[in-house]
């Protein structure tokens, strides 16, 4: 396809220009990383803080799963439109819009809860409203990386991008747990909202060199993006892989806090510490794996990595101490990184740059659709059996390992 970036061979560079230092000299990249990092720290705080908020104030794992589901899923439905808007109007300003919306809704939840005027139905409604703009920041940030960064630095950029995600977990998850434990869940949500607001301000100064497409109406462009993703065997295969994988992680998001709080009788801070340890392990692993060239080996790397993740997860239902839970999840983070890097790089290599906004919004939404589904089913499963919910997570993760080899073509077909 004309304009498609095939890989690093198209842009040969001397070895001295392939390091992380070269990334920091790319115009706009450092500020983009700072903004995205702030947003992801806030996102990690929200992921942990919302579950702890619901468990603390309502004592209901099913409601925690439902709140997590509606915080993500409605926005996924609108992802084709979000992607068309990103390609048409630019990513930076729309990322800022989403951060502002999330900040406002979290302040609202915290205020209503503090005044005892937040019934479960209203909580779910506000979470659903907050999700509608979610694809703007999620896809907008990821699709800015390959437009700002030259193709020969994509592996490094993806590694730094992924390490920023896990670094956010190192900071955000423990911070959320500490705030919930020491000052209360409402203050934790308020602090999260403040970080989202700062992230929105930071990205406003980042230039967006991506292509603009305004030939057709927004809905036409959204539809064309959806058709492009579904007809692209690579993107469809990645979506199927990540859906099954995401169901497993979605179960863990609810099951791990319940495991620590109820079975092992720990406090909210411990939940944050454990997720923070996971992030720290992933950060180190990402910087190492980011040095590995993935070209031509993406499918095998993904399959092997997912199988290793499933094996590590299998220790969770048997864990009898916090140390064992933390060790299992840290191992998950260490062996997951090759999957993350190979996944991101393959998606970039096989996507038309002119469609980055639409494709990334739709692809990412299809990819993460499994997580809210996993969270939604985890609540009722936990009410029946906590160990059963954890084994379901293991089963879905193991099943995801075969999808890359069966569905994703070995070579680009476009």
Q: For the chain, which residues make up each domain, given as ranges? A: 23-207+218-407
Query: How far are the Cα atoms of 45, 189, 383 from residue 94, in angstroms, in the given order?
Result: 22, 23, 40
CB 81 within 8 A of CB 222: yes
Average pLDDT over residues 249-260: 92
Which pLDDT band holds residue 269 (cuts at 50, 70, 90)? confident
Q: Which fold has domain 23-207+218-407?
A: Growth Hormone; Chain: A; (1.20.1250)
The Cα 236–Cα 229 span in angstroms is 6
- pLDDT digit string, tens, across residues 371-404: 888 988 998 899 889 999 999 999 999 999 998 8
- The most confident of the ranges 28-37, 157-166, 371-380 is 371-380
**H helix count then E strand count, the chain:** 18, 0
Provide the pLDDT for residue 72.
85
Residue 157's nearest CA partner among 19, 300, 283 is 19
Weakest-pLDDT range from 42-46, 47-51, 208-212, 407-411: 208-212
| Cβ contacts of 94-98, under 8 Å, gap ≥ 24 | 94/136, 94/137, 94/140, 95/35, 95/39, 95/136, 95/137, 95/140, 95/141, 95/200, 95/203, 96/200, 96/201, 96/203, 96/204, 97/133, 97/136, 97/200, 98/133, 98/134, 98/136, 98/137, 98/140, 98/200
Residue 226, Cα to own-chain centre: how many angstroms? 20
Q: Is the pTM of this model over 0.75?
A: no
CB 74 within 8 A of CB 280: no
Percent of the chain with pLDDT over 90: 33
Rounded to the nearest 5 percent, the helix, strand and coil shares of the chain are 80, 0, 20
Provide the pLDDT for residue 154.
63
> Backbone dihedral region of 319: left (phi > 0), alpha (psi from -120 to 50 degrees) or beta?
beta
Residue 262's nearest CA partner among 42, 52, 412 is 52
CB 145 within 8 A of CB 158: yes
Average pLDDT over residues 351-371: 68
CB 375 within 8 A of CB 250: yes
Average pLDDT over residues 88-114: 90
Weakest-pLDDT range from 28-42, 231-245, 261-275, 280-294: 280-294
Provide the pLDDT for residue 395.
95
Provide the pLDDT for residue 372.
85
Residue 133, Cα to own-chain centre: how many angstroms? 15
Task: Please report, to the nearest 10 degrees, the dihedral formed by the alpha carbons of residues 105, 111, 112, 114 taken in order.
Answer: 140
Q: Tell me the torsion sign for CA atoms 155, 156, 161, 162.
A: positive
DSSP assignment of 245-277: HHHHHHHHHHHHHHIIIIIS---HHHHHHHHHH
Cβ neighbours of residue 186 closer than 8 Å, sequence gap 6 or more = 53, 110, 111, 113, 114
């Amino acid at each position: 396809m004309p304009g498609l970036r095939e890989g690093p061979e198209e842009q040969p560079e001397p070895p001295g220009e392939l390091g992380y230092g070269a990334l920091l000299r790319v115009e706009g990249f450092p500020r983009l990383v700072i903004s995205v990092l702030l947003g992801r720290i806030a996102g990690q705080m929200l992921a942990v803080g919302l579950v702890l908020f619901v468990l603390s104030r309502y004592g209901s794992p099913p409601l925690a799963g439902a709140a997590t589901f509606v915080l993500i899923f409605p926005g996924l439905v609108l992802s084709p439109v979000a992607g068309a808007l990103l390609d048409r109007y630019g990513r930076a300003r729309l990322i800022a819009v989403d951060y502002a919306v999330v900040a406002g809704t979290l302040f609202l939840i915290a205020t209503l809860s503090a005044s005892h005027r937040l019934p479960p139905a209203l909580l779910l409604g506000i979470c659903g409203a907050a999700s509608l703009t979610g694809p703007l920041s999620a896809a907008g940030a990821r699709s800015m990386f390959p437009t700002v960064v030259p193709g020969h630095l994509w592996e490094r950029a993806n590694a730094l991008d992924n390490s920023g995600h896990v670094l956010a977990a190192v900071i955000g998850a423990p911070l959320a747990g500490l705030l919930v434990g020491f000052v209360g869940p409402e203050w934790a949500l308020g602090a999260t909202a403040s970080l989202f607001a700062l992230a929105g301000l930071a990205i406003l100064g980042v230039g967006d060199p991506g292509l603009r497409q305004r030939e057709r109406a927004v809905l036409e462009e959204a539809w064309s993006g959806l058709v492009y993703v579904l007809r692209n065997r690579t993107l469809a295969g990645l979506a199927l892989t990540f859906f099954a994988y995401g169901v497993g992680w979605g179960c863990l998001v609810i099951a791990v806090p319940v495991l620590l709080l109820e079975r092992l009788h720990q406090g909210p801070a411990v939940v944050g510490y454990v997720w923070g340890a996971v992030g720290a392990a992933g950060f180190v692993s990402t910087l190492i794996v980011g040095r590995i060239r993935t070209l031509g080996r993406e499918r095998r790397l993904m399959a092997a990595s997912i199988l290793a993740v499933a094996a590590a997860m299998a220790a969770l239902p048997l864990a009898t101490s916090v140390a064992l839970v933390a060790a299992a999840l840290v191992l998950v983070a260490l062996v997951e990184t090759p999957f993350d890097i190979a996944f991101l790089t393959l998606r970039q290599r096989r996507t038309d740059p002119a469609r980055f906004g639409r494709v990334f919004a739709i692809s990412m939404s299809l990819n993460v659709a499994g997580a809210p589904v996993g969270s939604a089913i985890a609540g009722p499963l936990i009410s029946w059996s906590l160990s059963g919910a954890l084994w379901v997570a293991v089963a879905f993760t193991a099943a995801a390992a075969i999808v890359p080899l069966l569905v994703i073509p070995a070579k680009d077909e476009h």
